[in-house]
């Protein structure tokens, strides 16, 4: 027996409700973070979305501390400020 090609309306509605709830929860959590943390998360998301547009350098010290440095390989549009 093959699966139907379209998603039943109830399943689609539940998925939308779950997605909306998760989005609202994330927005509430992000609002409580300091601006520098939000900026770091945004840079990391850009790295994941388009790795070719970002340069990444990971430094690990003998004590075990790590530093990830992200640098845009392209010049950002002046209209975008984070």
In sequence order, the 6+-apart residues with CB closer than 8 A to the CB of 58 are 66, 67, 68, 69
Pair 46, 54: CB distance under 8 Å: yes
DSSP labels for 11-59? Answer: HHHHHHHHHHHHHHHHHHHHHTS-HHHHHHHHHHHHHHH-GGGEEEEEE
Q: Tokens 């139907």 identify what position?
A: 4
Q: Tell whether pTM > 0.85.
A: no
pLDDT digit string (tens) for 23-75?
899 889 888 999 988 888 888 888 888 888 778 888 999 999 999 887 876 66
């Amino acid at each position: 027996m093959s699966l139907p090609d379209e998603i039943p309306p109830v399943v689609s509605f539940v998925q939308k409700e779950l997605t909306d709830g998760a989005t609202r929860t994330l927005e509430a959590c992000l609002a409580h973070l300091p601006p520098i943390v939000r900026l770091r998360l945004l840079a990391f998301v850009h790295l994941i979305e388009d790795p070719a547009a970002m340069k990444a350098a990971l430094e690990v010290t003998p004590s075990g501390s790590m530093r990830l440095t992200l640098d845009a390989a392209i010049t950002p549009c002046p209209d975008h400020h984070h």
